[in-house]
A and B are shown apart, each in its own frame.
Chain A
């Protein structure tokens, strides 16, 4: 993946931008700066129940971040396969918040629009948010319906027998209902949005133009 015209130890502009976005997100994770302490022991990868299905392992992900290759991370499936089981975080000998860091990466991906090819997993998140905005509570049937319709209509057909069983067992309410305080939800959402805009990215000094241990201080 290394571009032969790259100068070792320096970041290309696009990577600098991504790094800045990511560090902004990671800053909000209490203890997130501990990513600098990674000793590359691989305990995280070894503990992860889904690492076998990842293209970049958790350990590699942290190494790539420190090597200045966030774009490569965002183009991989890794952050989207993470099931948030927190086993890595629990076992990390350096107490790094790996799962929460992956959440920050997910948010970075959604903010910058960088995803692996043919990979609308973030769609589920977006639909979930839309349902939340509208009703204040999730409705599984609606969520699955909208997701599958856009992503994989045939997958929906496959779910029909299960859907019918659940309906018959009284475990699938047909219609979503709004909570009484839905207005407050929407107010909260617009207030939160207003706080985040304009997205003034604080220039974190050590991000500019350095990679490796120096980059994360």
Chain B
């Protein structure tokens, strides 16, 4: 089964390590991954506040393009994109009125959306389509007992997705522990990092980030592992500001889960974009390959 890939705007910039490591992991596991040609921005949370029909139509263009490509599975790593695309599917399915409007709009550009495409998160694909045991068999080295905080963030599991629990998911924990890492106790694993609030309400966002980093470090995590590029950036890039504001001393590497997964599968640092992380993962924590 071929997977169509929807990187999203974030993975082309700040989320580049995610894009690189995801492609590397899919390649090593032999999963055909093809980027959706000429995808457009999903619209994310900002667009939804503007105009319902417009934002749905913009988002649906991607679904229509995927359908035209004969795809049935569209992989969207960014939680915001994942949320918007899934929401589009759901809203169009549940509201014939909205569907009729969007059909008319898409019809004008020669596209149609029959809701035939399933929107998937890479974590879901890896754990459920490939299977943890298959991945474990393909692993070349162990993650050496690395204590990590499994941080899912909010939108990968809420609103109800179906592949993991909305408040206490365990797919990432299970996957990475099977590969030799050790998930620490981390009850805030789906507590919001603040997302776009870092731009609009930084004080509030810094508070949320501080609470997450605090919980992680207090429970012995040596790194935080995320599934969303926005969470990754919020937790990684503002540690200095958090330290200045709250008098803390955080200096924690924050990775995306495909980076750790790739390490276990034998990918190099560069393939996984590890050199792009702002707080480097210390080599003594996990054996790295040249």
| Interface residues of A, Cβ cutoff 8 Å to B | 25, 28, 30-31, 49-50, 53, 80-81, 83-87, 89-90, 99, 103, 106-107, 110, 121-122, 124-126, 128-129, 132, 136-141, 144, 147, 162, 165-166, 169-173, 179-181, 184-185, 187-189, 191-193, 195-196
Contacts and interface: CB of A to CB of B under 8 A. Distances in A.
Contacts of B57: 188, 191-192
A136 B105 contact: no
Contacts of A89: 158-159
A188 B109 contact: yes
Contacts of A170: 16, 276
A28 B52 CA distance: 8
Contacts of B204: 50, 53, 81
A91 to B, nearest CB: 8
B107 to A, nearest CB: 9
Contact of B159 (A81, A90, A188): A90
B41 A137 contact: yes
A181 B275 CA distance: 34
B61 A83 contact: no
Which of B13, B97, B208 has the most A CB atoms < 10 Å from its CB?
B13
18 contacts: A25-B52, A30-B95, A86-B158, A89-B158, A121-B200, A122-B49, A124-B199, A125-B46, A137-B9, A170-B276, A179-B40, A184-B61, A188-B54, A189-B58, A192-B51, A192-B101, A193-B54, A196-B54
B142 interface: no
Interface of chain A: mostly helix, strand, loop or mixed: helix
Interface string B1-36: 000000001101111110000000000000000000
Contacts, number: 183
Nearest to B83: A84
B50 A187 contact: no
A147 B111 CA distance: 33
Q: Give 8 nearest A-B pairs by CB, closest first.
A: A85-B192, A85-B154, A86-B158, A30-B94, A138-B9, A106-B49, A192-B54, A128-B46
Nearest to B109: A184
B47 interface: yes
Contact of B40 (A124, A137, A162): A137
A141 B197 CA distance: 16
B38 interface: yes
Contact of A166 (B14, B49, B91, B195): B14
Nearest to A169: B276
A144 B199 contact: yes
B227 interface: no
Contacts of B108: 187-188, 191
Given A90-B166, A107-B52, A187-B108, A172 B14 contact: yes
A121 B196 CA distance: 11
A105 to B, nearest CB: 9
Nearest to B61: A188
Given A81-B204, A90-B167, A171 B13 contact: yes
Interface in B152-172: 154-155, 158-160, 166-167
A166 B156 CA distance: 25
Interface residues of B, number: 68
Interface of B: 9-10, 12-17, 38-41, 43-54, 57-58, 61, 83, 90-91, 94-95, 97-98, 101, 104-106, 108-109, 111, 154-155, 158-160, 166-167, 190-192, 194-197, 199-201, 203-204, 207-208, 237-238, 275-278
Nearest to B212: A49
Nearest to A24: B52
Contact of B278 (A125, A165, A173): A165
Nearest to A97: B159
Given A87-B154, A165-B237, A191-B109, 14 more contacts: A81-B197, A83-B195, A87-B158, A90-B166, A124-B196, A132-B43, A137-B12, A138-B9, A141-B13, A171-B13, A180-B38, A188-B58, A195-B104, A196-B51
B50 A125 contact: yes
Contacts of A53: 201, 203-204, 207
B192 A83 contact: yes
A28 B100 CA distance: 12
A172 B58 contact: no
B12 A173 contact: yes
Given A49-B208, A137-B9, A189-B58, A84 B195 contact: yes
B40 A136 contact: yes
Contact of A83 (B12, B40, B159, B197): B197
